[in-house]
Amino acid sequence: MLGLLPALGLLLGLGYLAITFWLTRRWKTLEESWCPSYYTPKTRLSVIVAAKNEAANLEHLVADMLAQKYPTELVEYIIINDHSTDATEEILASLQLPNHFHIIQAQGHGKKSALTQAIAYAKGQLIVTTDADCRFDPMWLSTIAWLYESKHPKFIASPVQFYQEKSLLERFQSLDFLGMMLVTGAGIHSNLFFMANGANMAFEKSAFLAVQGYEGNLHIPSGDDMFLIAKMAHTFPKESILFNKSLESTVRTPAAPNILSFFRQRWRWGSKNTAIDDWNLKLILGWVFLTSAWILLFIWSKTWWIVVILKLLGDYYLLREATTFFHRKKLMSSFLPAFVFHTLYIAVIGFISLLSKSKSW
């Protein structure tokens, strides 16, 4: 008979494989969203960017905004400078921007405070948030508006991916993030758990006000995305929360350039997990963490290789589907080293996040 620890590992591995297979199957049943060529938008949008020390990215950001194939009379762009200490303010002042661009200065402190101020300033029916270091295609806003006008949701989560990878670390992050997008879409589609990324999400301004925005989690530096979608899911019918499975709606952002910035980023993300009030999501995140931690801690166990293989099969099945949809199949050439690093970092960041809190966004 197996001992307690080997049996526990086998249980974790089998559960991990079942979870990844189930999530991938749910993703496959999620209908892809297309914006038809005949579509004429009717929704007024407010696109909000909270910019903190983003001087290097502002020209690309504005260029992508100006290239949007969305009626200028139906969109406004609000860039709020959140106490930047670089040349962000000077560059924004020097840019020759049309009238539907608005530059405002943050009054409070922190990203959530800046977003709340910008949302109060916004005139649009639908709020779209992104980050200053993101790039987007010309049909980005149209695909979001089309889904909104077709399905009338309260909240839309859209995909984010890393791009321009130059190292194995960056390729790993791209693989990991594409997997996260699949998990996000599958969770929302199943109405089982709800995740989002603030670099690409949209919500009705009236819904934001109805749930009192970020009230209740302002003390947590990160989580403007996760806490907001959780409040929306608790307040409105779960069917009014949608994932926009669309290549044209995907935004691109750089991966963390080095191991230190990567761990700081993931520590920041992990620090909010203990405060998430979604037990289905906590169960899945906890299972992933425990499986990875077991592999790291009990390498001497007689079932260790079985658990590793079970996790490897689950990760491969999920990532193969994600990279296929996002047209990034070449990233799978880095799957094996990425698998090793994923197992290691999930365990390490999980332990650190349980023991400490991140204090910056």
Contact 243, 30 (CB under 8 A): yes
**Model confidence pLDDT, tens digit, residues 8-26:** 999 999 999 999 999 999 9
Tokens of 84: 């930047």
Question: Nearest CA to 351 among 266, 262, 248?
Answer: 266
Q: Please provide the size of the chain in residues.
A: 361
The residue ranges of every structural domain in the chain are: 4-28+276-354, 32-256
> From edge to edge, which strands make up the β-sheet containing 251-253?
135-136, 251-253, 160-162
Residue 221: pLDDT band (50, 70, 90) is low
Residue 226 to residue 223: CA distance in whole angstroms: 5
When pLDDT is averaged across residues 141-162 and rounded to a whole number, the result is: 98
Question: How high is the mean pLDDT of the chain?
Answer: 93
Contact 23, 190 (CB under 8 A): no
When pLDDT is averaged across residues 175-188 and rounded to a whole number, the result is: 98
Q: Which listed CATH number (3.90.550.10, 3.40.50.1580, 3.40.1180.10, 3.40.50.1860) goes with 32-256?
A: 3.90.550.10
**Residue ranges in 238-278 assigned as alpha helix (H):** 259-270
Residue 236 to residue 228: CA distance in whole angstroms: 12
**Model confidence pLDDT, tens digit, residues 328-345:** 999 999 999 999 999 999
DSSP 3-state of 349: helix
The model's pTM is 0.94
Tokens of 361: 């966004």
